[in-house]
Amino acid sequence: MRVVLGVAGGIAAYKAASLCRLFTEGGHDVRVLPTAAALRFVGAPTWEALSGHPVATDVFTDVPSVQHVRVGKEAELVVVAPATADLLARMAAGMADDLLTTTLVTATCPVVVAPAMHTEMWQHPATQANVATLRSRGVHVIEPASGRLTGSDTGPGRLPDPEVIHAEALAQVGAAAAGSGELPWAGRRVVVSAGGTREALDPVRFLGNASSGRMGMAVARAARDLGAEVTVLQAAVEVPAPEGVRVVETPSAADLEAAVGREFHEAGADLLVMAAAVADYRPAQVATTKIKKQDDGAGLTLELERTPDVLAGAVRRRDAEAAQHPQERRQVVVGFAAETGDEHGSVLDHARAKLARKGVDLLVANEVGVGVVFGQEDTTVHLLTPDGPVRTVGPVSKDEAARAVCEAVTPLLG
């Protein structure tokens, strides 16, 4: 995809370098169009090295190719990050006095803008009116984040993280393609579980795990970008759900089991992706008041019981309902196996056994442990099907791994 990355002259311009890298690593052809002021924060050599294209700011560079028109007409996505108050005003007024603004008035593709400025500038009526004008014209303006700004001030106006901008930009491309009926998963309903369940011990304590929810959210993003209607069954997570998906809170294994019944089986969804880390055990008795520490130094003994096997249960119910209604389209179930190798076998050995035991259509196995996978940005996954070879993907970002999972699922959807 041909991506134009516009960069305005604000201190947050340095974050756009990471955004450029996210697009190029995703295989996209990126052309960076900084304003003259932006080059005072990040120089042209940086943008040229990251994008592989020469950088220009004015309309008098490469005149024979008429690039002030050509770049915008050829773009399939335009992202402006950061967008200053000045640039928002010029965009709203339709000004075209440099290469970036001329590109913006010639582009017919999705345009995504990520403002970044001081809180007072963001909240000024003129800025808010300009944002409203741009949105009324179909420009997708991302709300700025709240946090530390230049100097000691904090408040709304901070540029969102590059990963957030990247995901929202791709979502806009996906939404535009869905409107034209081009996306492969358009019309599909997908349910994705994410995060780690927590099993209550008393009103303030629980048994849990280290899952961050990043992988599940990445799968939800990938499915959304393919045009699917996505519901996330959200346990405890460290990252927000992607924009444009529906969220159902499922804090415990029992909550998750009930939600799978409603959202996947009863709603007739096409695909269930069980990426959540579901507790295998829970306290047999839950105290109604906080368990007090004993002054005599005595320990605490807990009796644990098995939680429901949500994944295996979903497959059993799916198969039973399919036998009763063979004419209906078969639902697909994908399981995740966070494994550690031990004296009984490797990660892949345990994954193959789990694939046979659970009866899923696709199993995604990854190795976990201290400092491995949980909470990390990158991962390596092994994709296993009942009758095909193992496909290993990684080390890659979790977004890339999620896209590989969806690629493997596509032929299973029929």
Do 141 and 118 share a domain, yes or no? Answer: yes
Do 87 and 229 share a domain, yes or no? Answer: no
Highest mean pLDDT among 170-174, 251-255, 348-352: 251-255
- Tell me if 184 is assigned to some domain: no
**216 three-state secondary structure:** helix
Neighbours of 357 (CB within 10 A): 12
pLDDT band at 254 (very low <50, low <70, confident <90, very high): very high
Q: What would the pLDDT profile of 85-111 be if each residue is shown by its tens digit?
A: 999 999 999 999 999 999 999 999 999
Residue 210 exposed, middle or buried by CB count within 10 Å (0-12, 13-18, 19+)? middle
On the question of pLDDT at 258 being above 70, the answer is yes
Q: Tell me the mean pLDDT in the region 250-268.
A: 96
Q: Where in the sequence numbering do the catalytic residues fall?
A: 209
- Residue 396 annotated as lining a ligand binding site: no
Q: Which domain covers residue 108, as residue numbers?
A: 2-178
- Tell me if 285 is assigned to some domain: no
* pLDDT recorded at residue 347: 81
Pick from 369, 376, 331, 378: nearest CA to 347? 369
- Tell me if 294 is assigned to some domain: no
Pick from 211, 232, 224: nearest CA to 337? 211
On the question of pLDDT at 62 being above 80, the answer is no
Examine the fold and report which residue of 178, 213, 239 is the final residue of a domain before the chain moves on: 178
Examine the fold and report which residue of 152, 178, 204 is the final residue of a domain before the chain moves on: 178
Do 158 and 198 share a domain, yes or no? Answer: no
- Residue 311 annotated as lining a ligand binding site: yes
**CA angle in degrees (0–180, nearest 5) for 29-241-309:** 120
- Tell me if 291 is assigned to some domain: no
* pLDDT recorded at residue 134: 93
Do 131 and 223 share a domain, yes or no? Answer: no
Q: Give the percent of the chain with pLDDT over 90.
A: 58
- Tell me if 299 is assigned to some domain: no
* pLDDT recorded at residue 370: 47
Q: Identify the residue whose tokens are 């629980």.
A: 206
- What distance in Å separates the CA atoms of residue 348 and residue 364, rounded to the nearest whole number? 10
Q: Please name the amino acid found at residue 101.
A: T
Do 196 and 343 share a domain, yes or no? Answer: yes
Q: What would the pLDDT profile of 308-333 be if each residue is shown by its tens digit?
A: 999 999 999 999 999 998 888 889 99
- Residue 23 annotated as lining a ligand binding site: no
pLDDT band at 242 (very low <50, low <70, confident <90, very high): confident
Do 118 and 222 share a domain, yes or no? Answer: no
**389 three-state secondary structure:** coil
Structure tokens of 92? Answer: 């709203």
Do 253 and 396 share a domain, yes or no? Answer: yes
- Residue 290 annotated as lining a ligand binding site: yes
Q: Tell me the mean pLDDT in the region 349-372.
A: 83
**31 three-state secondary structure:** strand
* pLDDT recorded at residue 145: 82
- Residue 308 annotated as lining a ligand binding site: yes
- Tell me if 297 is assigned to some domain: no
CATH of the domain at 122: 3.40.50.1950
On the question of pLDDT at 399 being above 90, the answer is no
Do 131 and 254 share a domain, yes or no? Answer: no
Do 220 and 350 share a domain, yes or no? Answer: yes
Q: Looking at 224-228, 329-333, 334-338, 407-411, which range is the least confident one?
A: 224-228
End-to-end CA distance of the chain: give it in Å, rounded: 27
Structure tokens of 137? Answer: 């014209």
Number of domain units in the chain: 2
**118 three-state secondary structure:** coil
pTM of the model: 0.61
Do 212 and 99 share a domain, yes or no? Answer: no
pLDDT band at 374 (very low <50, low <70, confident <90, very high): low
Query: DSSP secondary-structure letter at 196?
Result: B
Q: Looking at 220-229, 259-268, 280-289, 368-377, which range is the least confident one?
A: 368-377
Q: How far is CA 215 from CA 19, 21, 152, 299, in A?
A: 20, 20, 34, 36
Contact 203, 218 (CB under 8 A): no
- Tell me if 213 is assigned to some domain: yes
- Residue 41 annotated as lining a ligand binding site: no
Do 87 and 174 share a domain, yes or no? Answer: yes
* pLDDT recorded at residue 334: 97
* pLDDT recorded at residue 309: 94
- Residue 411 annotated as lining a ligand binding site: no
- Tell me if 295 is assigned to some domain: no
Examine the fold and report which residue of 119, 152, 178 is the final residue of a domain before the chain moves on: 178
Say if residue 203 is preceded by a cis peptide, omega within 30 of 0: no
Q: What would the pLDDT profile of 114-156 be if each residue is shown by its tens digit?
A: 999 998 999 999 999 999 999 999 899 988 887 777 777 777 8
Do 217 and 314 share a domain, yes or no? Answer: yes
Highest mean pLDDT among 11-20, 134-143, 287-296, 360-369: 11-20
CATH of the domain at 312: 3.40.50.10300
